[in-house]
Amino acid sequence: MKIVRLSDHLVCPLGHDTETTLEAVLQGRSELRLHSDWQHLPEPVCASLFEPDGIASAFAENGQTDQGYTRFEQLAIASAAPAIARSGIDPASPRVLFVLSTTKGNVELLGGNGAGQSESVSPVWSAERLARHFGNPNIPLVVSNACISGLCAQIYAPRALQSGRYDQAVIVGADVLSSFIVSGFQSFKALSQQPCRPFDRERNGLNLGEGAATLVIGRVENADGAWTLCQGAIRNDANHISGPSRTGEGACQALKATLAGICPDEAAMISVHGTATLYNDEMEAVALQRAGLDHLPVNAYKGYLGHTLGAAGLLESVLSMHAIDRGVIPATRGFSEPGVSVPLQVSNQPRTTDKKAFIKMLSGFGGCNAALYYRKGGTQ
């Protein structure tokens, strides 16, 4: 049995659907801007943010009616509704699983002194509202594995489908920004006040971004030309809860496990995490070399979208599928001069490809790393 993409949809400040967003990426555009008065933060923040009414309008464009949903929930639904409609699945079926990938969900509802709203702050609450919005009767699963959540969700759901319990899954990744999240990354001194520069010599930190993406997958006998989620793996560095491993241990092991039995040269590219922090990008370069993959083209999307946290794994995988469908390896925006210890095939120009597979990888707090191999048309 194969696990294939049935449909997808994404919503981010660059576009309210996948094609518009990909077009913007291929044109080298970004909504990363320095916001000096956003949420009365003491420091300006360079981020990819929706306009104040951006999420509400994406939600309304899809013909959804408001039922007191929060900004975060509206965004999740705005990405899920068109994907579900196009997939042809019945979301109300007990054979459909809903999976929500998010790092902080509705955390912006935590009020002064942390008071109140504790029920609706929980991602579990939002996941249930999301599933019920589409009439789904099952208990939805929330994946909360820091920045790798979006890939973990795409590893969990295929496993659940392979077990036979479900036929299809709706995988939604979403995060919105709040002073809570921004302050945390600022406290780590991880943020750049300019658009980020993945793998560049001058890179000095990451940008945060808002966005959501939905992937609807199904279990089929024959992949029949569809994008297939072949295999993936999650591995821990067992090294540090907030610092990337210097040896890239977990990322290297996740890549090796993901590519067991697969010829990596079939892959058009490795879409890396590429946050543009000094340590993340160096760690990834070391991991790629150790896994014997440093000869493959590499791309990173953070220079267009920022780091979209729980949405990143979905947004970046969906964009990669559509880019490769067009025969393009998207440029790494912000990259100019190599700035990691291992020579990598990074480029600030789009490259063409006739290959029909790619690897997505992410790393996150807690020492976790994930990789997943996608191939169009199915078998290994």
Determine if 175 is a binding residue for another protein (CB under 8 A).
no
* Local structure of residue 244 (DSSP, 8 states): P
Determine if 34 is a binding residue for another protein (CB under 8 A).
no
**Closest to another protein by CB, 253 or 332:** 253
Determine if 342 is a binding residue for another protein (CB under 8 A).
no
Determine if 131 is a binding residue for another protein (CB under 8 A).
no
Determine if 160 is a binding residue for another protein (CB under 8 A).
yes
**Closest to another protein by CB, 338 or 366:** 366
C-alpha pair distances (Å), 196 with each of 126, 202, 333: 31, 9, 8
Instruction: Estimate to the nearest angstrom the gap between the alpha carbon of 195 and the chain centroid.
Output: 19
**Closest to another protein by CB, 142 or 314:** 142
Beta strands in the chain (DSSP E): 2-11, 32-35, 45-48, 96-101, 141-143, 168-175, 208-209, 211-220, 227-236, 269-271, 297-299, 328-329, 345-346, 351-352, 357-364, 368-376
Nearest to 335 by CA among 287, 280, 275, 293: 275
Determine if 307 is a binding residue for another protein (CB under 8 A).
no
Determine if 56 is a binding residue for another protein (CB under 8 A).
no
CB of 128 to another protein, least distance (A): 6
Give first-to-last CA distance, the chain, whole Å: 12
| Span 360-379, contacts to another protein by CB under 8 A | 364-368
Determine if 156 is a binding residue for another protein (CB under 8 A).
yes
Q: Which of 135, 139, 193, 349 is close enough to bind another protein by CB under 8 A? A: 139
Determine if 36 is a binding residue for another protein (CB under 8 A).
no
Question: What is the four-CA torsion angle of 371, 309, 25, 320, rounded to 10 degrees?
Answer: 20
Determine if 278 is a binding residue for another protein (CB under 8 A).
no
Q: Which of 27, 162, 193, 222 is close enough to bind another protein by CB under 8 A? A: 162
**Closest to another protein by CB, 39 or 347:** 39
Question: What is the four-CA torsion angle of 150, 154, 155, 161, rounded to 10 degrees?
Answer: 150
Give the Cα separation of 153 and 195 in Å (integer).
28
- DSSP state string for 193-219: SS---TTBTT---B-EE-EEEEEEEEE
Q: Which of 152, 169, 226, 296 is close enough to bind another protein by CB under 8 A? A: 152
CB of 260 to another protein, least distance (A): 7
The DSSP bridge partners found for residue 46 are 34
Determine if 303 is a binding residue for another protein (CB under 8 A).
no
**Closest to another protein by CB, 63 or 112:** 112
Question: What is the four-CA torsion angle of 359, 172, 17, 321, rounded to 10 degrees?
Answer: 20
Determine if 154 is a binding residue for another protein (CB under 8 A).
no
CB of 126 to another protein, least distance (A): 10
Residue 208 contacts residue 33 (beta carbons within 8 Å): no
| Residues 85-124, mask of contacts with another protein (x by CB under 8 A) | ------------------xx--x--xxxxx---x--xxxx
Is 151 in a helix, a strand, or coil?
Answer: helix
Select from 5-13, 29-37, 138-146, 287-295 the region that touches another protein (CB under 8 A): 138-146
| Residues 243-272, mask of contacts with another protein (x by CB under 8 A) | ------xx--x---x--x------------
Place of tokens 């072949």: 230
Determine if 37 is a binding residue for another protein (CB under 8 A).
no
- By CB under 8 A, the count of residues binding another protein is 60
The DSSP bridge partners found for residue 362 are 370
Select from 52-60, 236-244, 316-324, 327-335 the region that touches another protein (CB under 8 A): 236-244
Give the Cα separation of 27 and 359 in Å (integer).
23
181-336-266 Cα angle (round to 5): 85
| Contact positions vs another protein (CB under 8 A) | 41-42, 103-104, 107, 110-114, 118, 121-124, 127-128, 139, 141-146, 152, 156, 159-160, 162-163, 165, 179-180, 183-189, 233-242, 249-250, 253, 257, 260, 364-368
